[in-house]
Amino acid sequence: MTAPLSDRVVLVTGGGRGIGRSHCLTLAAHGAAVVVNDPGVSRDGSGGEAAPAASVVAEIEAAGGRAIAHTGSVSSWSDVADMIAAAVDTFGTLTGVVNNAGILRDAMVTNVSEADWDAVIAVHLKGTFAVTRHACEYWRAQSKAGHQIDAHIVNTTSGAGLWGNVGQCAYGAAKAATANLTVVTALEAQRYGVAVNAISPLAVTRISENFFTTDQANDAALDPARSSPVVAWLQSRQSSWLTGQILRVNGAQLSRIEGFTEAPGRYHAADGNSLQYNEIGQAVSWLYNTAPRGLAGPLPLG
């Protein structure tokens, strides 16, 4: 039987370790050719070595798969352009990217340095955008040249971005922005055949290991590999109908993230024209159900 991803060529950023490594191995096991991008930096983004990406490539090739290594940084515009070119030059095309690269430099809002803020934003947000931008540029050009495009972008957001987490203002802000970038790119790129989605994986990795207790860190449900089958499916033709969505992967559980939602209740200005300062407090109390009903009943909510 033909492997479901045998016609896929996928670039995975941060593919040398943790979740990224698992994504690469799973994609290759399902037949995809993989560009394993990883500059081999430490948890905070410092240093660098070629070994992590090369090791994953060797593992894929030993299993009969196809892969190449790329050690450029997602925060470098020229490095990202070269990743796309390397995929096309080696495998003849590019059908998908998985934006997984990330670093952490956690601190409370009052303690974050400008350098640490910039570094985290550069990798998580600029990096996701840079890869997305260069890949979409390639697919748009192919579409204009008359080629049928069926391409897939999988971004990586997190609970810190969706719900917040103490000490992670930079990381959380970048991941929240990534969720929005997913939606915007989906709206723009669908016209030339690109589906754009995101995952929010819960797993123990180099980045997240400090958040878990010893017992949790040894929990098989938090193995980084748990989200990789979802990523593989999101890179398949079977998933092309789905775009602009976020899937949460928590161990053996898969759920849909609905994003920012507007509650059903509506307060209408008392004069029917414009909200006035002196009515906002009571209105907000009603909207959040923090005020007693009273004999007069609720304020006029639609």
Residue positions annotated with a catalytic role: 171
Instruction: Kindly give the pairing relationship between strand 194-202 and strand 67-70.
Output: unpaired
C-alpha to C-alpha distance for 97 and 34, rounded to whole angstroms: 10
Bridge partners, residue 68, by sequence: 35
Query: Nearest 5 degrees, angle CA 176-CA 181-CA 183?
Result: 105
Sign of CA dihedral 18, 57, 238, 131: positive
Instruction: Kindly give the pairing relationship between strand 253-257 and strand 246-250.
Output: antiparallel
Buried-exposed string 7-35: b where 16+ CB fall within 10 A, e elsewhere = ebbbbbbbbbbbbbbbbbbbbbbbbbbbb
